[in-house]
Homo-oligomer: A and B are copies of this chain.
Protein backbone atom coordinates (compact mmCIF):
# COMPACT_ATOMS: atom_id res chain seq x y z
CA UNK A 1 0.00 0.00 0.00
CA UNK A 2 1.13 3.42 -0.81
CA UNK A 3 1.41 4.81 2.65
CA UNK A 4 0.59 1.70 4.58
CA UNK A 5 -2.67 1.16 6.26
CA UNK A 6 -0.54 -1.10 8.45
CA UNK A 7 -2.63 0.43 11.17
CA UNK A 8 -2.86 -0.79 14.64
CA UNK A 9 -5.32 -3.52 13.90
CA UNK A 10 -8.13 -2.56 16.24
CA UNK A 11 -9.04 0.69 17.86
CA UNK A 12 -9.06 4.27 16.82
CA UNK A 13 -6.89 3.97 13.72
CA UNK A 14 -9.04 1.20 12.38
CA UNK A 15 -12.16 3.20 13.01
CA UNK A 16 -10.68 6.18 11.20
CA UNK A 17 -9.73 4.05 8.22
CA UNK A 18 -13.17 2.52 8.07
CA UNK A 19 -14.97 5.82 8.34
CA UNK A 20 -12.76 7.43 5.69
CA UNK A 21 -13.36 4.59 3.26
CA UNK A 22 -17.07 4.72 4.01
CA UNK A 23 -17.07 8.47 3.44
CA UNK A 24 -15.45 7.99 0.04
CA UNK A 25 -18.13 5.50 -0.96
CA UNK A 26 -20.95 7.70 0.21
CA UNK A 27 -19.63 10.81 -1.44
CA UNK A 28 -18.84 9.06 -4.72
CA UNK A 29 -22.51 8.19 -4.86
CA UNK A 30 -23.74 11.58 -3.71
CA UNK A 31 -21.59 14.15 -5.44
CA UNK A 32 -19.67 12.07 -7.98
CA UNK A 33 -16.06 11.13 -8.21
CA UNK A 34 -15.01 14.39 -9.83
CA UNK A 35 -16.21 16.50 -6.95
CA UNK A 36 -14.35 14.60 -4.25
CA UNK A 37 -11.78 16.53 -2.27
CA UNK A 38 -9.81 15.60 0.79
CA UNK A 39 -11.47 18.19 3.02
CA UNK A 40 -14.88 17.00 1.89
CA UNK A 41 -14.09 13.38 2.66
CA UNK A 42 -12.54 14.37 5.96
CA UNK A 43 -15.59 16.31 7.07
CA UNK A 44 -17.91 13.45 6.19
CA UNK A 45 -15.70 10.95 7.94
CA UNK A 46 -15.49 13.13 11.02
CA UNK A 47 -11.72 13.49 10.93
CA UNK A 48 -9.42 16.38 10.19
CA UNK A 49 -7.92 16.72 6.72
CA UNK A 50 -4.40 16.43 8.03
CA UNK A 51 -5.17 12.93 9.22
CA UNK A 52 -5.91 11.90 5.66
CA UNK A 53 -2.93 13.71 4.23
CA UNK A 54 -0.64 12.07 6.70
CA UNK A 55 -1.98 8.59 6.22
CA UNK A 56 -2.58 8.55 2.49
CA UNK A 57 -0.56 11.43 1.10
CA UNK A 58 -3.16 12.75 -1.26
CA UNK A 59 -6.56 12.10 -2.71
CA UNK A 60 -5.29 9.88 -5.51
CA UNK A 61 -3.59 7.47 -3.18
CA UNK A 62 -6.67 7.28 -1.02
CA UNK A 63 -8.84 6.59 -4.05
CA UNK A 64 -6.34 4.04 -5.24
CA UNK A 65 -6.65 2.14 -1.97
CA UNK A 66 -10.41 2.28 -2.08
CA UNK A 67 -10.43 1.16 -5.70
CA UNK A 68 -8.27 -1.89 -5.06
CA UNK A 69 -10.52 -2.85 -2.22
CA UNK A 70 -13.49 -2.70 -4.56
CA UNK A 71 -11.76 -4.61 -7.33
CA UNK A 72 -11.18 -7.62 -5.12
CA UNK A 73 -13.35 -10.44 -6.38
CA UNK A 74 -15.90 -11.53 -3.85
CA UNK A 75 -16.59 -15.04 -5.00
CA UNK A 76 -14.73 -17.88 -6.68
CA UNK A 77 -15.48 -18.23 -10.38
CA UNK A 78 -18.51 -20.33 -11.09
CA UNK A 79 -18.06 -23.94 -12.19
CA UNK A 80 -19.71 -24.37 -15.57
CA UNK A 81 -18.42 -27.83 -16.26
CA UNK A 82 -15.61 -27.22 -18.70
CA UNK A 83 -12.52 -25.07 -19.07
CA UNK A 84 -13.98 -23.29 -22.01
CA UNK A 85 -17.25 -22.37 -20.40
CA UNK A 86 -15.60 -21.48 -17.09
CA UNK A 87 -13.26 -19.09 -18.85
CA UNK A 88 -16.03 -17.65 -20.95
CA UNK A 89 -18.24 -17.02 -17.96
CA UNK A 90 -15.43 -15.49 -15.98
CA UNK A 91 -14.20 -13.31 -18.84
CA UNK A 92 -17.68 -12.07 -19.66
CA UNK A 93 -18.32 -11.09 -16.11
CA UNK A 94 -14.91 -9.48 -15.80
CA UNK A 95 -15.44 -7.46 -18.94
CA UNK A 96 -18.90 -6.37 -17.92
CA UNK A 97 -17.75 -5.17 -14.56
CA UNK A 98 -14.55 -3.54 -15.70
CA UNK A 99 -15.82 -1.90 -18.85
CA UNK A 100 -18.67 -0.15 -17.09
CA UNK A 101 -17.92 3.47 -16.34
CA UNK A 102 -17.65 2.79 -12.66
CA UNK A 103 -15.31 -0.15 -13.22
CA UNK A 104 -13.08 1.85 -15.52
CA UNK A 105 -12.92 4.60 -12.95
CA UNK A 106 -11.74 2.12 -10.34
CA UNK A 107 -9.08 0.69 -12.62
CA UNK A 108 -7.81 4.13 -13.43
CA UNK A 109 -7.77 5.14 -9.80
CA UNK A 110 -5.95 1.97 -8.85
CA UNK A 111 -3.32 2.58 -11.51
CA UNK A 112 -2.87 6.25 -11.02
CA UNK A 113 -2.51 6.84 -7.34
CA UNK A 114 0.11 4.22 -7.17
CA UNK A 115 3.68 5.44 -7.47
CA UNK A 116 5.30 2.08 -6.82
CA UNK A 117 2.91 -0.07 -8.80
CA UNK A 118 1.88 -2.26 -5.92
CA UNK A 119 -1.81 -1.53 -6.18
CA UNK A 120 -1.81 -2.25 -9.90
CA UNK A 121 0.07 -5.47 -9.20
CA UNK A 122 -2.62 -6.41 -6.72
CA UNK A 123 -5.29 -6.04 -9.40
CA UNK A 124 -3.41 -8.35 -11.69
CA UNK A 125 -2.91 -10.79 -8.84
CA UNK A 126 -6.65 -10.93 -8.24
CA UNK A 127 -7.24 -11.90 -11.85
CA UNK A 128 -4.43 -14.44 -11.71
CA UNK A 129 -5.96 -16.06 -8.64
CA UNK A 130 -9.32 -16.46 -10.28
CA UNK A 131 -7.71 -17.93 -13.36
CA UNK A 132 -5.65 -20.32 -11.30
CA UNK A 133 -8.82 -21.65 -9.71
CA UNK A 134 -10.35 -22.24 -13.14
CA UNK A 135 -7.22 -23.94 -14.47
CA UNK A 136 -6.87 -26.17 -11.42
CA UNK A 137 -10.41 -27.28 -11.85
CA UNK A 138 -9.74 -28.07 -15.51
CA UNK A 139 -6.67 -30.07 -14.59
CA UNK A 140 -8.83 -32.02 -12.16
CA UNK A 141 -11.09 -32.87 -15.08
CA UNK A 142 -8.05 -33.99 -17.05
CA UNK A 143 -8.60 -31.34 -19.68
CA UNK A 144 -5.54 -29.96 -21.43
CA UNK A 145 -5.01 -26.44 -20.16
CA UNK A 146 -2.91 -23.46 -21.11
CA UNK A 147 -0.84 -21.98 -18.32
CA UNK A 148 -1.97 -18.97 -16.36
CA UNK A 149 0.48 -16.62 -18.05
CA UNK A 150 -0.98 -17.47 -21.40
CA UNK A 151 -4.49 -16.77 -20.20
CA UNK A 152 -3.34 -13.40 -18.90
CA UNK A 153 -1.70 -12.59 -22.24
CA UNK A 154 -4.50 -13.83 -24.44
CA UNK A 155 -7.64 -12.99 -22.50
CA UNK A 156 -7.08 -10.55 -19.66
CA UNK A 157 -4.57 -8.26 -21.35
CA UNK A 158 -6.62 -7.64 -24.49
CA UNK A 159 -9.69 -6.85 -22.41
CA UNK A 160 -7.78 -4.46 -20.21
CA UNK A 161 -6.13 -2.83 -23.18
CA UNK A 162 -9.46 -2.09 -24.77
CA UNK A 163 -11.03 -0.94 -21.54
CA UNK A 164 -8.27 1.56 -20.99
CA UNK A 165 -7.32 2.62 -24.48
CA UNK A 166 -10.34 1.95 -26.71
CA UNK A 167 -13.40 1.97 -24.53
CA UNK A 168 -15.91 2.01 -27.39
CA UNK A 169 -17.86 -0.91 -28.68
CA UNK A 170 -16.94 -3.48 -26.08
CA UNK A 171 -19.32 -6.30 -25.41
CA UNK A 172 -19.32 -9.79 -24.01
CA UNK A 173 -18.93 -11.31 -27.48
CA UNK A 174 -15.39 -9.95 -27.45
CA UNK A 175 -14.65 -11.87 -24.27
CA UNK A 176 -15.99 -15.08 -25.81
CA UNK A 177 -13.98 -14.51 -28.95
CA UNK A 178 -10.77 -14.19 -26.95
CA UNK A 179 -11.46 -17.38 -25.06
CA UNK A 180 -12.31 -19.17 -28.29
CA UNK A 181 -9.03 -18.04 -29.82
CA UNK A 182 -7.21 -19.54 -26.88
CA UNK A 183 -8.91 -22.87 -26.23
CA UNK A 184 -9.99 -23.55 -29.81
CA UNK A 185 -13.44 -22.91 -31.14
CA UNK A 186 -14.21 -26.48 -32.18
CA UNK A 187 -16.49 -27.73 -29.43
CA UNK A 188 -18.79 -25.95 -27.07
Binding site for B on A (CB under 8 A): 34, 108, 111-112, 115, 117, 120-121, 123-124, 152-154, 156-158, 160-162, 164-167, 178
Question: If the complex has contacts A153-B158, A157-B161, A161-B156, are A166 and B121 also in contact, measured as CB distance less than 8 A?
Answer: yes
- Please state if A154 and B154 are interface contacts (CB–CB under 8 Å): yes
Overall SS of chain A's interface: helix
Q: Which chain B residues lie closer than 8 Å to A117 at the CB level?
A: 165, 167
Q: How many monomers of this chain does the complex have?
A: 2
- Please state if B124 and A166 are interface contacts (CB–CB under 8 Å): yes
A122 to B108, CA, bound (A): 17
CB distance from A181 to the nearest CB of B (A): 8
Q: Which chain B residues lie closer than 8 Å to A121 at the CB level?
A: 165-167
A93 to B164, CA, bound (A): 22
Q: Closest B-chain residue to A167, C-beta based?
A: B117
Interface residue from B112, B152, B153, B162 paired with A111 (Cβ < 8 Å): B112
Known: A108-B112, A120-B166, A160-B164. 14 other contacts (CB 8 A): A108-B111, A111-B111, A117-B165, A117-B167, A120-B165, A121-B165, A124-B165, A153-B178, A156-B161, A157-B157, A157-B158, A157-B160, A158-B158, A160-B165
